[in-house]
């Protein structure tokens, strides 16, 4: 049984990171909402950004993403405190199906559910990073696909998301995460670099650390999530949107309800 008192104490003790988390979530949501509204207006789409069906599907896919997030694993070319998971697969599927707002919401709920199920071992620093890095992949990919809903558009969207998560994850680690972990746990930066050197002798400083450990991990994550999403999305899309394996237009779906 999860200890909610421990989570509450962790929130109180690390209020600064929690406030940063909340502000970043709000900013990402505003960007996603503005872009999606613009895309809907441009395409003449009058459907609500968040319908009842969308919210229900987001809840289901957030739960799936949470399970995938909990089952993370180490990679041989990065220190053991870096973990790889495939929780962005259901997040990206939701983003493709319903737009960037749904993608960002699924990512946010995934993190919140993970905190309830597993708590935080990084004073919310790692959870904040996971949200930001996840959104750096899902947001550009779902935005681009929202404008170009073709197979070519999906491929370009996945490429854009993979490039963005690689660049954003690398810079975020170099500028924020590594210094934050060093300060949080009282571990000298040289010791963190040493953990990287233990798996790759060419890692000797922060630039080589993020280029040889962090960047390849994010590139691997983006590429693998993109590949799996491309393989499953076409079959899942009509079921997610209309509750049937047979693709329907919105007008057909409304007529079926009547």
pTM, two decimals, is 0.83
- The C-alpha R_g of the chain, in whole angstroms, comes to 19
Per-residue pLDDT tens digits of the chain, which is 258 residues long: 444 555 555 556 567 666 777 788 888 889 888 888 887 787 777 777 778 888 999 999 999 999 999 888 889 999 988 889 999 999 999 999 999 999 999 999 999 898 888 777 666 677 888 888 999 999 999 999 988 889 999 999 999 999 999 999 999 899 888 888 787 778 899 999 999 999 999 999 999 999 999 999 999 999 999 999 999 998 888 888 776 655 554 444 443 333
Q: Which residue range is the domain that position 48 belongs to?
A: 4-257
pLDDT at 125: 74
3-class SS letters over the chain = CCCHHHHHHHHHHCHHHHHHHHHHHHHHHHHHHHHHHHHHHHHCCCCCCCCHHHHHHHHHHHHHHHHHHHCCECCCCCCCCCCECCCHHHHHHHHHHHCHHHHHHHHHHHHHHHHHHHCCCCCCHHHHHHHHHHHHHHHHHHHHHHHCCCHHHHHHHHHHHHHHHHHHHHHHHHHHHHHHHHHHHCCCHHHHHHHHHHHCCCCCCHHHHHHHHHHHHHHHHHHHHHHHHHHHHHHHHHHHHHCCCCCCCHHHHHHHHC
In whole angstroms, what is the distance from residue 217 CA to residue 24 CA? 23
pLDDT at 258: 33
pLDDT at 245: 59
Q: What is the CATH number of the domain that holds 155?
A: 1.10.1760.20
For the chain, what is the domain count?
1
């Amino acid at each position: 049984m999860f200890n909610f008192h421990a989570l509450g104490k962790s929130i109180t003790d690390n209020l600064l990171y929690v406030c940063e988390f909340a502000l970043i979530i709000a900013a990402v949501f505003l960007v996603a909402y503005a872009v999606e509204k613009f895309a809907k207006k441009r395409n003449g789409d009058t459907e609500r950004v968040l319908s009842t069906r969308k919210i229900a599907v987001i809840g289901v896919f957030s739960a799936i993403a949470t399970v995938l997030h909990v089952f993370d694993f180490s990679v041989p070319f990065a220190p053991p405190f870096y973990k790889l998971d495939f929780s962005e697969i259901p997040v990206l599927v939701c983003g493709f199906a319903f737009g960037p707002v749904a993608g960002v919401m699924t990512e946010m709920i995934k993190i919140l559910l993970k905190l309830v199920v597993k708590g935080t071992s990084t004073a919310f620093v790692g959870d904040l990073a996971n949200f930001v890095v996840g959104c750096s992949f899902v947001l550009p990919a779902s935005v681009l696909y929202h404008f170009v809903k073709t197979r070519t558009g999906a491929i370009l969207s996945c490429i854009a998301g993979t490039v963005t998560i690689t660049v954003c994850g690398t810079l975020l680690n170099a500028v924020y995460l590594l210094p934050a972990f060093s300060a949080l746990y009282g571990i000298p930066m040289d010791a963190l670099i040493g953990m990287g050197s233990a798996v790759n002798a060419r890692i000797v400083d922060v630039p080589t650390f993020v280029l040889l450990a962090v960047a390849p991990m994010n590139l691997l994550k983006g590429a693998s999530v993109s590949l799996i999403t491309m393989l499953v999305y076409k079959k899942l899309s009509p079921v997610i949107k209309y509750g049937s394996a047979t693709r329907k237009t919105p007008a057909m779906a409304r007529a079926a309800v009547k």
